[in-house]
Copies of this chain bind each other. A is one copy, B any other.
Amino acid sequence: MGRRPRRVTSKDVARLAGVSRTTVSLVLNDVPHARIAPETRRRVLEAARQLGYRPNAAARSLVRQQAMTLGLILCHPPAHVYTDPFLPQVLLGITGALQKTEYRLLLETVAEPSLREDYLDLAREKRIDGFILSGPRVDDVALRELHKEGIPIVLLGHLPDVAIPSVDVDNVRAAYTAVTHLIRLGHRRIGMITNGPLHYTASQERLNGYRQGLAKYNIPFEPDLVVEGHFTAESGEEAMRRLLTVRPRPTAVFVASDTVALGALVTLRQAGIRVPEDMALVGFDDIPLAAYVDPPLTTVRLPAYELGREAARLLLTLVAGESPPSSRTVLSTALVVRASCGALQALHNPQSKGGETGSNT
Contacts and interface: CB of A to CB of B under 8 A. Distances in A.
A187 to B, nearest CB: 23
A150 interface: yes
Contacts of A67: 57-58
B233 A262 contact: no
24 contacts: A1-B323, A2-B150, A5-B149, A5-B150, A56-B125, A57-B67, A57-B125, A57-B126, A57-B127, A58-B58, A58-B59, A58-B126, A82-B89, A82-B288, A85-B288, A87-B88, A99-B111, A105-B108, A106-B106, A262-B289, A262-B292, A266-B292, A292-B293, A294-B294
Contacts of A294: 265, 269, 293-294
A35 interface: no
Interface of A: 1-5, 52, 54-59, 61-62, 67, 69, 72, 78, 81-85, 87-89, 91-92, 95, 99, 104-109, 111, 121-122, 124-127, 147-150, 152, 233, 259, 262-263, 265-266, 269-270, 288-289, 291-294, 318, 323, 351, 353
A125 B351 contact: no
A107 B109 contact: no
B83 A95 contact: no
A193 to B, nearest CB: 14
Contact of A259 (B62, B95, B289): B289
Nearest to A85: B85
Given A62-B58, A150-B1, A107 B105 contact: yes
The 3 A-B pairs with the shortest beta carbon distances in the complex, nearest first, are A58-B61, A54-B124, A2-B150
A4 B87 contact: no
A150 B3 contact: yes
Contacts of A323: 1
A88 B95 contact: no
Nearest to A351: B270
A249 to B, nearest CB: 22
Given A82-B89, A106-B106, A54 B293 contact: no
**Most B CB within 10 A of own CB, among A125, A259, A266, A291:** A125
A266 B266 CA distance: 17
Nearest to A81: B88
**Most B CB within 10 A of own CB, among A56, A67, A88, A323:** A88
A4 B66 CA distance: 13
A266 B353 contact: yes
A121 B54 contact: yes
Contacts of A62: 56, 58-59, 62
Nearest to A322: B1
Contacts of A109: 91-92, 95
Contacts of A147: 2
Given A106-B106, A266-B353, A292-B263, A81 B91 contact: yes
A294 B288 CA distance: 16
A283 to B, nearest CB: 12
